[in-house]
Structure 1
């Protein structure tokens, strides 16, 4: 998952299971198996994967089957818009597959149901980008393995920047003057588009929060949404809306890229997945008109870490084969191969040294960004808290409430929701 899917409320049956999970998980953390079993995988391994990953995973699984002739991988594609309910229903009914792709922001929720196996400690967490591995950890225990990566960087119109006589920004101050120049001298109606509310707005805002030194929770697991550093970030972020450098209205899906290609928007924050959309709309000749750079730094460099994790369920019929399949998908060469099939950026750091990725200057920007990318806390209630943040951003961007009032309300609402732990 690229973490752009709206939250779907848990079904009543899952809530009952989740409650049982909370009761059974008090006390000591689950014991993690030390390693994946020796020898080749055997038997049928059932896998659910969403979107394009589900449609294309079979091509990659063929290599695993050649190396493990006694094993068969059965992939079931699942649409993203129904994935949450399907997973919830399968857990409640005790009819899960062996392996499933899980959106990173769902990990805390599903881990707390007690339905996921802890990750074998033989998986080397240092092989993965730190922010991505953090998405698998709930209460100090890992319950999955990062499969592919998502982060945010800054897209900008190179031609408009050249017309305006400005270089890509590296700091917050430079970003403000850059956006102003793209509007005043480059001809863009909006110097930059920063999402002004709506589902997923927190993914655009929180890199600024982290850059300001803010955190979402403290060392005790308590929400820290109303702090001076978070206030600095939200005031800076919404200053673009108040000054007319960014629209304070929600854009309909697809409008951001369309307006970027037309020149209405001079810059925007997004993931590597938008490259194909931009080139589809702008055509091959548009490639020279835009560029991408790492997000400008505040007090520190930071971005959002998301993507997709692979999990094995407690009631998996072929757990050994499942973990061996995940281990195969985590090999650097297989991660690089998957990129050539699905264009999913690798979660394994060494895979970025593969020639298919190393020679891609555009993609390498996102690889560098991943080194400083951070994930939200893996808590069962995160999607509910995220919706509160999305709403607060919209109020601040539109000026219907002051930044101080917004943060105070966000803090109170998040505290009321709790972490679910």
Structure 2
């Protein structure tokens, strides 16, 4: 085993027979791969063992997350997609629908994936991506601040959590309990999921926000701001959440597994914080996660080599390497048997991954989430009541889904 943790035999054994035969003929031209966020920055570390075993070099381009969706669409239209690229799971349906990605050619590539994670990458009963890293949210919390008011961990239901939060606010009136920034939609989308809200209806062609569940979710979310438990702030106003968490500016932070890496790198003492599943109306429940998968371009001229690279990057060894490097969690069930996955702070993530809440499989979902957040901000800032905001949200979502609705009604889209 070399310094990276791989052996040549392990890398070769991770490649499908078709890919191995093709790679044996590999030339000097590199495969091209695009990825976003930490995955893009750290992917080059996974390439040397693949290249050493196959003779195929890989050129990785790290894309800025905020511009990646547009760049991928432009590349699709211009026939300039790389051989392999990362998609957030919520984008897979869109890129499969427009014919940009190839279906997964072998069942073994998606064997042993958490079922709920895999379901989000299936379109029309076919797998179009191989889940790569999983990022469900949990509550990061300050153990010392909660212990000072008699709590070992945040309660799991909304009423008890609210009572705890009010008690902490009385003790620390100049600070906040929750970090729920007004331009971060994930926390609110998760609250809707925990409340049992179904955001779309009529075969995912219309908004479905004027329901008791959605009203309950919006009311709970808005109350956190109305009672001074969360700051009415945007991410531009809290530019360093890690430092704010370390300083006790807030005590509970719904966030994903990359925060594990951030806290470790910044030297926040591990005895001062821990993790717990996010609370729901009657206890923790299903949540969606910002998971990412690897896809192969439908127009690649080197499909065997591309799928071989995907097999390597999504192998258990690679997933565990990534977990150590950036925090994101393995999508393969067997990877969780590794000793490194037995840390207590990972247990809530492992539990949450067994209770997924799949996002609606419509290409407009990214835009719909933005509209959800805009509606919530108007409520928090007192510009609309909850009934007004939800009615307005339904109308906006209906307009976003107009084209889909017409295709479904015409029988051209399932």
Same structural fold, with TM-score higher than 0.5 when normalized by the shorter chain = yes
1:84 counterpart (37, 59, 69):
69
Instruction: Give the whole-Å Cα distance in 2 for the aligned partners of 1:253 and 1:91.
Output: 36
Instruction: Give the whole-Å Cα distance in 2 for the aligned partners of 1:343 and 1:155.
Output: 14
Show the counterpart of 1:225: 209
Show the counterpart of 1:355: 339
Instruction: Give the whole-Å Cα distance in 1 for the aligned partners of 2:86 and 2:93.
Output: 14
Instruction: Give the whole-Å Cα distance in 2 for the aligned partners of 1:194 and 1:38.
Output: 45
CA contact (8 A) 2:260 2:327 kept: no
Q: CA deviation at 1:125?
A: 4.8
Show the counterpart of 2:297: 313
CA contact (8 A) 1:36 1:320 kept: no
> How do 1:271-350 and structure 2 match up within 5 A?
271-281=256-266, 283-284=267-268, 286-299=269-282, 301-350=285-334
CA contact (8 A) 2:109 2:130 kept: no
Q: CA deviation at 1:133?
A: 2.0
Show the counterpart of 1:56: 42
Show the counterpart of 2:409: none
Say which SS state the counterpart of residue 281 (structure 2) adopts: coil
Structure 1 pair 399/138, CA: closer, same or farther in 2 (3 Å)? farther
> How do 1:201-212 and structure 2 match up within 5 A?
201=185, 203-212=186-195
Structure 1 pair 146/316, CA: closer, same or farther in 2 (3 Å)? same
Instruction: Give the whole-Å Cα distance in 2 for the aligned partners of 1:217 and 1:149.
Output: 24
Instruction: Give the whole-Å Cα distance in 2 for the aligned partners of 1:280 and 1:266.
Output: 19
Q: CA deviation at 1:135?
A: 3.1
CA contact (8 A) 1:209 1:229 kept: yes
1:75 counterpart (60, 65, 70):
60
The one-character-per-residue Cα deviations of 1:286-340 (angstroms, maximum 9, x if unpaired) are 3222221111233561223112211111111111111122122222233112323
The one-character-per-residue Cα deviations of 1:342-401 (angstroms, maximum 9, x if unpaired) are 43221222212212222x221232222222132422322122211111101101222221
1:269 counterpart (237, 248, 254):
254
For the aligned residue pairs, the C-alpha RMSD in angstroms reads 2.5
Say which SS state the counterpart of residue 393 (structure 2) adopts: helix
Show the counterpart of 2:170: 184
CA contact (8 A) 1:163 1:185 kept: no
Show the counterpart of 1:404: 387
Q: In the alignment, is residue 384 of structure 1 matched against residue 370 of structure 2?
A: no
> How do 1:42-53 and structure 2 match up within 5 A?
42=23, 43=26, 44-53=30-39
The alignment's TM-score, normalised by the length of structure 1, stands at: 0.82
Say which SS state the counterpart of residue 164 (structure 1) adopts: coil
Instruction: Give the whole-Å Cα distance in 1 for the aligned partners of 2:73 and 2:136.
Output: 27
2:105 counterpart (120, 132, 137):
120
Say which SS state the counterpart of residue 76 (structure 1) adopts: strand
Structure 1 pair 111/393, CA: closer, same or farther in 2 (3 Å)? same
The alignment's TM-score, normalised by the length of structure 2, stands at: 0.84
Show the counterpart of 1:418: 401
Instruction: Give the whole-Å Cα distance in 2 for the aligned partners of 1:320 and 1:264.
Output: 51
Instruction: Give the whole-Å Cα distance in 2 for the aligned partners of 1:51 and 1:153.
Output: 20
My pick for the range that moved more, 293-302 or 392-401, is 293-302
Show the counterpart of 1:110: 95
Could you list the runs of 5+ residues in structure 1 that have no partner in the other structure? 1-34
My pick for the range that moved more, 183-192 or 108-117, is 183-192
Instruction: Give the whole-Å Cα distance in 2 for the aligned partners of 1:247 and 1:189.
Output: 9
Structure 1 pair 147/36, CA: closer, same or farther in 2 (3 Å)? farther
Instruction: Give the whole-Å Cα distance in 1 for the aligned partners of 2:275 and 2:402.
Output: 36
